[in-house]
Amino acid sequence: MYINGNWVTPASTFAVFNPANGEQIGTVADGDREAARAAIAAAAEAFPAWSRSSAYERSARLYRAHGLMLERSASLAELMTREQGKPLKAARNEVKYAADFLLWFAEEAKRVYGETIPSARSDQRFLVQKCPVGVVAAITPWNYPISMLTRKLAPALAAGCTIVLKPAEATPLCAVAVFEILHEVGFPAGVVNLVTAADPAPIGEEFCTNPLVRKITFTGSTAVGKKIAGDSAPQLKRLSMELGGHAPFIVFDDADPVHAAKGVALVKFLNTGQACISPNRIFVQRSLLPAFLETLRQRIEALRAGDGMDPANAIGPLVNQAAVEKVDRQVRDALDHGAILHAGGARLLDNGLDKGHFYAPTLLSNVSPRMRVYREETFGPVAPVIAFDDEQEVLAMANDTSYGLAAYVYTRDLSRAVRAFEGLQFGIIGINDINPTSAAAPFGGMKESGLGREGAREGLEEYLETKLGGFSI
């Protein structure tokens, strides 16, 4: 762990395993609630001085962290592939994306502006100032174990907040590597703190109940997000939450079905489907269905699963055995209720894959609302296809979910694209675009997919309070 500017080794540790083959790749400190409390206290002690530091000083440190991350991108990507499982090419892309957040918020740190407001009284002046919210507690997921760290660390530090981070227990080594960079950059003691733990519950409880924590930022499941919101409510802590998704992918009949199917294949099986913006319900206008399914089937059958260190492999492992079982339950349930299987549909066990958590990329059609895969987030390599007949019908089906994170639309009709963009109840919508994300763009969802936004100007605002001064002269 990294607390108050020092690496801390407690009495106990826990092992970290490669999900591709089950091999142990390292051990990390097993922190407890006391460790979290010590880290929070260090962050609170460091906050006054860090919050008064100049924006240019904070910016310079983030620039330096950006440079170091790029210098170490190869080793960081290899570590990520071993620890999280994604193919090495995808890991390299994630490290670049993670560095982008450091760069973006290094620039935005110098653009925290206030304002003056005219008063009706001639002897009065109003001054509005933005100030950092205070100590931030951050909880990050395993599926993007470096970029989700910098997406929280960078804006918090740019705003003048201090931070305590608890990474996912499945991917703590990536977090340690990021904090090695922050340590080398030379952030003052207590400004950045890392608590790793095999059991996240006591750490989360301390974050929610410790009055020194003024904000919690969390990426993870909707169920856990709701618990954090409830547990922290008595202290009215500020919250940022990026939670679950159930993204629709809509292909209208004026789109090119081959082009759309290729797009689905790229984004659906990215990170083996373990992404909150992964398409979970693929709606295809009925006339395009045969050509779309055939192209998607061919693309899926060409995907090779295996250890991400082999560049020939495009599909990595799922995070653990429970994830494999969840995906298989959804597939079995769909088939039991009339879905048609075009590819995949089973755990992969041949050629040594039984040592890891692999599931075959799967294509289902004739999917209906009574199936679990239609209602539940999958977080795995399953593409469920649903036929539709008209625009109003598909928009209603797409919006028929408690989630509202991402959606995708393929159409060549500009008017239809605008209607879909305005009619879909989702925070991020890709129009003929499977990658509508960037450090410069706001990321977040509606309904039960979260609170607030990350990235962009909005991402910095999440860590700032508005202070009004009324001056009588």
Q: Which two tokens stand for residue 429?
A: 């919508």
Burial (0-12, 13-18, 19+ Cβ within 10 Å), 153: buried
Contacts (Cβ under 8 Å, ≥6 apart) of 308: 20, 81, 85, 86, 87, 88, 90, 91, 316
| Closest by Cα among 58, 44, 68, 52 to 157 | 58
Task: Look up 276 and say whether it is catalytic.
Answer: yes
Question: Residue 244 in contact with residue 449, Cβ under 8 Å?
Answer: yes
d(CA 453, CA 458): 6
73, 286, 298, 432 from 385: Cα distances, Å: 37, 11, 15, 18
d(CA 83, CA 98): 17
Question: Residue 106 in contact with residue 134, Cβ under 8 Å?
Answer: no
Question: Residue 303 in contact with residue 336, Cβ under 8 Å?
Answer: no
Q: From the centroid of its chain, how far is CA 80?
A: 15
Question: Residue 421 in contact with residue 431, Cβ under 8 Å?
Answer: yes
Exactly one of 83, 108, 242, 391 is catalytic; which is it? 242
Exactly one of 208, 276, 454, 461 is catalytic; which is it? 276
d(CA 270, CA 274): 7
Q: From the centroid of its chain, how far is CA 302?
A: 27
CA-angle at 218, arms to 422 and 371, nearest 5°? 60
8-state DSSP, 188? P
Task: Look up 208 and say whether it is catalytic.
Answer: no
Contacts (Cβ under 8 Å, ≥6 apart) of 111: 457
Question: Residue 445 in contact with residue 243, Cβ under 8 Å?
Answer: yes
41-51 b/e (C-beta count within 10 Å ≥ 16 → b)? bbbbebbeebb
Question: Residue 140 in contact with residue 149, Cβ under 8 Å?
Answer: yes
> Are β-strands 115-117 and 247-251 bridged in parallel, bridged antiparallel, or unpaired?
unpaired
Question: Residue 269 in contact with residue 379, Cβ under 8 Å?
Answer: no
The secondary element (H helix, E strand) that includes residue 277 is none
Question: Residue 80 in contact with residue 90, Cβ under 8 Å?
Answer: no
d(CA 233, CA 78): 40
Catalytically active residues are: 242, 276
